Structure 1
Amino acid sequence: MTVIIKSLAVFSFLLALSFTFTEATRFDITNKCSYAVWPASLPTGGGRQLNPGETWPLDIPAGTANARIWGRTNCNFDGSGRGHCGTGDCGGVLQCQLSGAPPTTLAEYSLNQPNNLDFYDISVIDGFNIPMEFSPTNGGCTSLRCPADKCPDAYLFPADNTKTKSCQSGTNYRIVFCP
């Protein structure tokens, strides 16, 4: 009887622990533009160059909040990762530690928030620089598109709180430049 009680206690502990930790969320960032894009991610991920047709798989920890991904254009970096971008520059470095300078089309998100929901949106409050699609890859949630400098799915001004969408935590996402 003691063995069964101890086994149930261990099982209950492991079950509770499994609900506490969720896996990372996968973001597949794809460049369908005819030119190179240097996506950047804050607070995790830094940045890198994506040539046309390339995808950058990025795993973001559950619970990451107030995060953003944006594309930079017309960049030139040296071997040490120092340089400059024409749009979206983040202090002259490849691995961003600061948000990009306007204009930037932003994919914004907060993962695994209250009620086990992810919240996401596209913002052009800081201006528009690259067409973008931000879509869940599973879960049947809403896809957002910003195909040109008139973006019906994007935040246009800070008080516009109707553009944020939600999806069940554990959903993976795709960001496509020039969809």
Structure 2
Amino acid sequence: MAASSSWILLLLAATFTASASAATFTIKNNCGFTPPMTLAEFTIGGSQDFYDISVIDGFNIGMAFSCSTGVGLVCRDSSCPDAYHQPNDMKTHACGGNSNYQVTFCP
């Protein structure tokens, strides 16, 4: 799928390939969006990027999520303190625009 210059991405545990320079993502073995699922969420494209981990829809796999200019988040179980558990938890973090991201499943 193609992405515009400012976009939001929800990443769940599925095999995918990505090209930041072409702003395209290809999902393989699409598992669908059936809860429970741990999500890495980020909004990029401005002077700041925003990112978080969410277990609002449930937890299915551990995840570490880091930004090259921000805080690293780790979620190994359903009670992890770094993740959103409710929509108003205030767990979103910011980093500089054009940052690099790393998502690790089962950290």
The unaligned stretches of length 5 or more in structure 1 are 1-43, 46-59, 73-92
Q: 1:53 — aligned with what?
A: none
TM-score norm. by structure 2 comes to: 0.78
Counterpart residue number, 1:111: 44
Write 1 or 2 for the structure with the bigger share of strand.
Answer: 2
Any idea what the Cα deviations from partners look like across 1:16-71, whole Å, max 9, x if unmatched? xxxxxxxxxxxxxxxxxxxxxxxxxxxx48xxxxxxxxxxxxxx764112x20011
Matching residue's letter, 1:177: F
Task: Give the structure 2 partner of residue 164 of structure 1.
Answer: 92
Query: Which of structure 1's runs of 4+ aligned residues deviate more than 3 A?
Result: none
Deviations 1:58-112 (A, max 9, x none): xx764112x200115xxxxxxxxxxxxxxxxxxxx8347xx61100000001002
Q: Secondary structure at the match of 1:107?
A: strand
Matched with 1:125 is 56
**Structure 1: which amino acid aligns with 2:77?**
A
2:6 is aligned with 1:63? yes
Q: Which runs of 5+ in 2 are unaligned?
A: 15-27
- Counterpart position of 1:49: none
Q: What's 2:77 paired with? A: 148
Paired letter, 1:157? Q
Equivalent-residue separation in structure 1 for 2:5 and 2:84 (angstroms): 24
The SS at the match of 2:58 is coil
The CA RMSD over aligned residues, in Å, is 2.1
Letter in 2 for 1:121: D
Report the alpha carbon displacement of residue 158 of structure 1 after superposing the two structures with TM. 1.2
Q: Summarize the alignment of residues 1-179 of structure 1 with structure 2, pairs less than 5 Å apart.
A: 44=1, 62-65=5-8, 67-72=9-14, 94-95=29-30, 100-113=33-46, 116-136=47-67, 138-139=68-69, 141-160=70-89, 162-179=90-107
How many residues are aligned here?
A: 94
- Name the SS for the 2:77 alignment partner: coil
Q: Counterparts of 2:102 and 2:4 in 1: how far apart (Å)?
A: 16
Q: Which structure features the higher share of helix residues?
A: 1
What TM-score do the two structures reach when normalised by structure 1? 0.48
